Amino acid sequence: MKRLSLLFVCAFLSFACGDKESSGNTPTADPVLTITSESNIWFESEGGEGEITYTIENPQKGVSLTAESSFDWISNIIVGDSITYTVEENTTFDERRGTIVLKYGTQTKQVTIKQRTRFDLT
């Protein structure tokens, strides 16, 4: 009977003191999306190519970064190690302002694109 009690105590202690990380219940840190380039970017009236740099800490499996703009003069947005895009020439009399919205999971970041007018007299 003593052997059975001793065996039970050893089994209980082994289970109670086991490696908790092997249970799969270890918490993971939330991902963090950070824009590492300027968040306000100016273009001359001629337009051109732009780049946004970013980092993602604690990336989640199955989640990818997206970037989009609802402004038709900001186009060709490509997401890779950085985000590249094209700003069309501004032929209007007004400066213009648009945005590129970055999304990763539930996080959203915004970069403002500003463009001077061709007719800027300053």
Per-residue pLDDT of the chain (122 residues; tens, 9 = 90+): 555 454 444 454 454 554 444 445 566 889 999 999 999 999 999 999 999 999 999 999 999 999 999 999 999 999 999 999 999 999 999 999 999 999 999 999 999 999 999 876 65
Instruction: Fill in the amino acid letter for 79.
Output: V
Residues 76 and 65: their CA atoms lie apart, in Å, by 16
Residues 6+ apart with CB under 8 A from 67: 52, 77, 79, 83, 85, 100, 101, 102, 103
33: number of Cβ within 10 Å: 18
